[in-house]
Amino acid sequence: MTDRQTTMNEPDPIETLVQRAKIMRANYLRSVFSGVAQAVGRGWSAMLGRIRSNRIRNELSLLSDRELADIGLSRADIALVAKQAGMGQRVATADKLPEAQYRKGNSNKPANSDRPTRAASGTQDRHAA
């Protein structure tokens, strides 16, 4: 009788395996559904970004060159600005766009900043008296 009581109090090994299997299945399904939900969310965000980018590109394309210049852009900047805005990035003004600095001869960039000055190179200025 004591042997039977001890076996009745112990969990059934098959029942323990079934419980573990249920927990493992639940965890697996949770991870699968979580991954699917994340993928759908990323796709949705990408689609909304593309729509926003196309809308901005179309609106900027309707502006005249003068109106674009008033807001600090040129026709060449429209694609980059629309792409940045579609991705949710902060849109740079024209003087901060990389290609605008070279195209417009931006005066903020020091002239010949990569060349040493005459005094630094050791040559004398001929016109100095």
pTM recorded for the entire structure: 0.49
pLDDT band at 91 (very low <50, low <70, confident <90, very high): low
Chain mean pLDDT for the chain = 75
Question: What pLDDT score was predicted for residue 120?
Answer: 45
Check residues 120 and 32 and name the one with the higher pLDDT: 32
Q: How far is CA 26 from CA 14, 17, 21, 86, in A?
A: 18, 14, 9, 38
CA atoms of 1 and 7, how far apart (whole Å): 10
Q: Is the pLDDT of residue 18 over 60?
A: yes
CA atoms of 79 and 53, how far apart (whole Å): 9
User: What does the domain layout of the chain look like in residue ranges?
Assistant: 14-107
Question: What pLDDT score was predicted for residue 109?
Answer: 45
